[in-house]
Amino acid sequence: MSVHISANKGDIAKVVLQPGDPLRAQYIAENFLENVRLVSKTRNIFYFTGEYKGKTISVGASGMGCASIGIYSYELFTEYDVDTIIRIGTCGAYNTDLKLFDILNVENAASESTYAKYAWEIEGDLLSHQGKVFDMINETAAAQSIITKNTNIHTSDIFYRKAPGTPAVAEKYNCSAVEMEAFALFANAQHLGKNAATILTVSDIIPTREEISANERERALKPMIELALETAIKL
């Protein structure tokens, strides 16, 4: 049992899908998995384990930001012997080249965050996906006729900021969108020699202020969830 996850050893599968929101984890477990068990609810951060097409898979929340996913992904990797984490989340597009509902397979995450430097002495502001999952997502998407876009994204510690426009680090690495967790997940996986990927659905277009409505969220996120699950059963 870890500090922040109360599951017993063996309760969490080798492959974990990790949305940010605990209620989204619950939605996935209840609507996509069979024989589901709630294995942890410490701090109302839910973790479930069940089966998808005969494969045992866990799904649980990361919370918001590098600090939070840094804790949960590290404990999953080290305390529960998880091999692979696929982050599934939403993002804001920095330009109109992306459209609402687009699915992104993150190739690299750029960030001003000091997480990687001070946690693991990993220098630099750009970290890549780790292991074989990125390629497997692309292969699965092609087989399922799901259109995905490989891209760099910006992992920001800041949701609200004074200065408008695209931050310098995002401009530097041609980041198409912004979210808040992938950089820390990739840092932990790199340090520990684990597999990590991030799939994102574009939920808003920052320049035009278009956004997916609350009523559209379920339809919007279903293709991304199914892509992650179809990838997970191959791992």
pLDDT digits (tens, 9 = 90+) for 98-139: 999 999 999 999 999 999 999 999 999 999 999 999 999 999
Distance CA 49, CA 35 (A): 8
* 194 pLDDT higher than 70: yes
- In the chain, % helix, strand, coil (3-state, to 5) comes to 35, 30, 35
Cβ-based burial of 226 (10 A; exposed 0-12, middle 13-18, buried ≥19) = middle
Predicted confidence band of residue 164 (pLDDT cuts 50, 70, 90)? confident
For 13-231, give the CATH class: alpha beta
Q: 25: which residues sit within 8 A by CB, 6+ positions away?
A: 17, 18, 19, 46, 47, 48, 59, 60, 61
Active site residues: 204
Antiparallel, parallel or unpaired: β 195-205 and 103-110:
antiparallel
Contacts of 66 (CB under 8 A, 6+ apart): 111, 113, 115, 155, 157, 180, 181, 183, 184
CB of 183 within 8 A of CB of 127?
A: yes
Q: Give the mean pLDDT of 22-47.
A: 96
Provide the token pair at 203.
């939920």
State mean pLDDT over 33-44. 97
Q: Which amino acid is at 160?
A: Y
Rounded average pLDDT over 204-213: 95
Read off the pTM: 0.97
pLDDT (0 to 100) of residue 215:
78
Structure tokens at 139: 């292969």
Read off the tokens for 179.
């979210």
| Confidence bin at 1 (pLDDT 50/70/90) | low
Tens-place pLDDT, residues 48-85: 999 999 999 999 999 999 999 999 999 999 999 999 99
- pLDDT at position 219: 77
Per-residue pLDDT at 165 exceeds 90: no
Residue 94, pLDDT > 80, answer yes
Q: What is the pLDDT of residue 214?
A: 77
Task: Give me the mean pLDDT over the 166-189 stretch.
Answer: 97
User: Domain map of the chain by residue range?
Assistant: 13-231
Measured at the CA of 19, the angle between CA 14 and CA 63, to 5 degrees, comes to 105
Percent of the chain with pLDDT strictly greater than 90: 92
pLDDT at 27: 95
The whole-number pLDDT of residue 117 equals 98
d(C-alpha 78, C-alpha 100), whole Å: 36
Roughly how many angstroms between the first and final C-alpha of the chain, as a whole number? 25
